[in-house]
């Protein structure tokens, strides 16, 4: 019996009668993480990992009907034993483990295998069937260690600061921004956050994650002398908007896994591209899949066909694609336009 099937509302667990990251309103939703394409408004009841409560409440509603479990804590519902396990993607991100009559399935949500200091690191979970994402499921995607990327970011910022020019770094507001903040060298200058980034910084700080002090961009006037040595973290949507005018003559950059593709930086029209993703790269996906010991693999959003074929032909696994509507908010939003 399949413990998870694809339905028009989302991934559905028939014996448990609940959905995982549904994209339409349903009565019972199990949420892997708080990115907008996985955690949506309007569910009758939400179940999520305890570490994601702060972000969910700040993004959906403070009084949302939310029940949480610590990582590893088990809950039984209609004979299905459910537990959350760290996915290493963003604060509170979890894989969902389901066990029913001896059969074990794990739905990964989005995941990253390199620990980053801003969330609990990914932990492989043994299972019979693994539902994996495949955002960067092509052999060309191989990340450098993040320490090297942070050195590049800090060097770029330092050079701009020396020239008296603000550095504007575009990145997704939840997860990527806090990970970058965690890796910045505060001695270079002031750190400034866009209004969509600042509330999430607060949630991370409350969760005990080290996020350096930030100034809210709205509090700064054009030509504020502090801006000349500052780095500004802003969501991609701020690019080209009138909001940018206050920074005068600035250098800009974009941080995303898609920066691996030369054309992306050019189309974005930014000075620099930093290859930094909160998703597993190709070797990371294959490593994670192997660690689960699963014989059956269901592949969701990303390079589904390529990964399915590779797993079948090279690994001898029973692999197939799963139709979903994920991929909107973070790097899973395909190549940014």
Interacting residue ranges for Zn ion, rule: CB under 5 A:
35, 110, 326, 330, 332
Min separation Cβ 326 and Zn ion, Å = 4
Cα separation of 183 and 220, whole Å?
Answer: 23
Give yes or no for a contact between 85 and 123, defined as CB atoms under 8 angstroms apart: yes
Cα separation of 95 and 85, whole Å?
Answer: 5
**Largest Cα–Cα distance in the chain?**
65
Min separation Cβ 229 and Zn ion, Å = 32
Task: Give the number of C-alpha atoms closer than 13 A to the C-alpha of residue 75, restricted to the C-beta side.
Answer: 16
The single residue listed with the structure tokens 């620990």 is 115
Q: Which residues contact 51 (CB under 8 A, 6 or more apart)?
A: 71, 91, 92, 94, 119, 120, 207
Q: Which is nearer to Zn ion, 134 or 332 (CB)?
A: 332
Cα separation of 179 and 116, whole Å?
Answer: 7
| 176 φ/ψ sector (left φ>0, alpha ψ -120 to 50, else beta) | alpha
How many CB atoms are closer than 10 A to CB 323?
A: 11
Q: Which is nearer to Zn ion, 116 or 330 (CB)?
A: 330
Min separation Cβ 208 and Zn ion, Å = 21
- 59-66 own/partner pairs: CB under 8 Å, 24+ apart: 59/34, 59/174, 60/34
Min separation Cβ 141 and Zn ion, Å = 15
Q: Which is nearer to Zn ion, 51 or 330 (CB)?
A: 330
Q: Which is nearer to Zn ion, 97 or 301 (CB)?
A: 301
Q: Which is nearer to Zn ion, 177 or 188 (CB)?
A: 177
Q: Which is nearer to Zn ion, 94 or 181 (CB)?
A: 94
Min separation Cβ 109 and Zn ion, Å = 7
Min separation Cβ 49 and Zn ion, Å = 13
Q: What are phi and psi of 231, to 5 degrees?
A: -110, 135
* Cα of 202 vs its chain's centroid, Å: 18
Q: Which is nearer to Zn ion, 110 or 252 (CB)?
A: 110
Min separation Cβ 279 and Zn ion, Å = 8
Task: Tell me the CA distances in angstroms from 142 to 35, 139, 242, 311, one per residue in order.
Answer: 23, 7, 36, 18
Min separation Cβ 301 and Zn ion, Å = 6
Q: Which is nearer to Zn ion, 92 or 166 (CB)?
A: 92
Strands 103-107, 94-100: pairing kind: antiparallel
Q: Which is nearer to Zn ion, 310 or 326 (CB)?
A: 326
Name beta bridge partners: 318: 296
Min separation Cβ 22 and Zn ion, Å = 13
């Amino acid at each position: 019996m399949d413990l998870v099937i694809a339905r028009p509302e989302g991934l559905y667990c028939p014996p448990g009668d609940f959905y995982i990251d549904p994209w339409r309103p349903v009565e019972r939703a199990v949420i892997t993480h708080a990115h907008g394409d996985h955690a949506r408004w309007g569910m009758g009841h939400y179940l999520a990992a305890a570490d994601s409560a702060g972000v969910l409440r700040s993004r959906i509603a403070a009084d949302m009907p939310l029940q949480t479990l610590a990582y590893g804590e088990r809950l039984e519902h209609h004979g299905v034993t459910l537990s959350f396990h760290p996915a290493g993607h963003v604060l509170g991100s979890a894989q969902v483990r389901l066990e029913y009559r001896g059969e074990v399935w794990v739905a990964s949500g989005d995941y990253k295998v390199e620990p980053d200091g801003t969330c609990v690191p990914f932990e492989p979970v043994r299972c019979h069937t693994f539902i994996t994402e495949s955002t960067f499921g092509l052999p060309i995607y191989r990340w450098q260690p993040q320490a090297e990327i942070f050195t590049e970011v800090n060097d770029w910022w330092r050079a701009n600061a020396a020239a008296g020019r603000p550095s504007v770094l575009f990145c997704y507001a939840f997860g990527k921004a806090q990970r970058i903040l965690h890796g910045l060298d505060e001695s270079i200058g002031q750190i400034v956050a866009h209004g969509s980034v600042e509330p999430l910084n607060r949630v991370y700080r409350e969760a005990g994650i080290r996020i350096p002090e930030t100034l809210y961009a709205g509090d700064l006037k054009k030509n504020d002398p502090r801006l000349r040595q500052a780095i500004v973290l802003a969501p991609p949507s701020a690019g080209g908007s009138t909001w940018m005018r206050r920074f005068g003559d600035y250098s800009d950059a974009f941080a995303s896994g898609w920066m691996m593709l030369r054309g992306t930086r050019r189309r974005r029209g930014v000075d620099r591209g930093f290859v930094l993703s909160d998703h597993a790269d190709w070797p990371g996906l294959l490593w994670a899949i192997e660690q689960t010991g699963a014989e059956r693999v269901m592949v969701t959003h990303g390079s589904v066909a390529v990964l399915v074929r590779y797993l079948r032909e090279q690994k001898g696994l029973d692999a197939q694609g799963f139709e979903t509507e994920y991929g909107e908010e973070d790097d899973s939003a395909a190549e940014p336009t």
